């Protein structure tokens, strides 16, 4: 169980660093307002799906079964 918590913390830290880097890089790309909003929303969606996938995998490693409507 402690390994799962450590894995969860590492996952959150890595996703936070990736999130920071992508935001800094997107600021360098000149985009018009509607396209910038669309890219930002898609980036949030992708990071959220990756985070959920990692959390479900870590919970499975800890022996906690999570029922998902779709298989990630």
Q: What is the 3-state secondary structure (H, E, C) of the chain?
A: CHHHHHHHHHHHHHHHHHHHHHHHHHHCCCCCHHHHHHHHHHHHHHHHHHHHHHHHHHHHHCCCCCCCCCCC
Residue 10 has pLDDT above 60, yes or no: yes
Q: Give me the pLDDT at residue 3, please.
A: 72
Higher per-residue pLDDT: 14 or 68: 14
Question: What global pTM score does this model have?
Answer: 0.62
Residue 65 has pLDDT above 80, yes or no: no
For residue range 30-48, list pLDDT tens digits in order: 888 888 888 888 888 888 8
């Amino acid at each position: 169980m402690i390994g799962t918590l450590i894995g969860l913390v590492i996952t959150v830290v890595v996703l936070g660093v990736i999130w920071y880097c992508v935001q800094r890089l997107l600021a360098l790309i000149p985009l018009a307002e509607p396209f910038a909003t669309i890219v930002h929303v898609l980036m949030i969606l992708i990071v959220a799906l990756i985070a959920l996938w990692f959390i479900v995998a870590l919970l499975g490693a800890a022996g906690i079964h999570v029922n998902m409507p779709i298989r990630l």
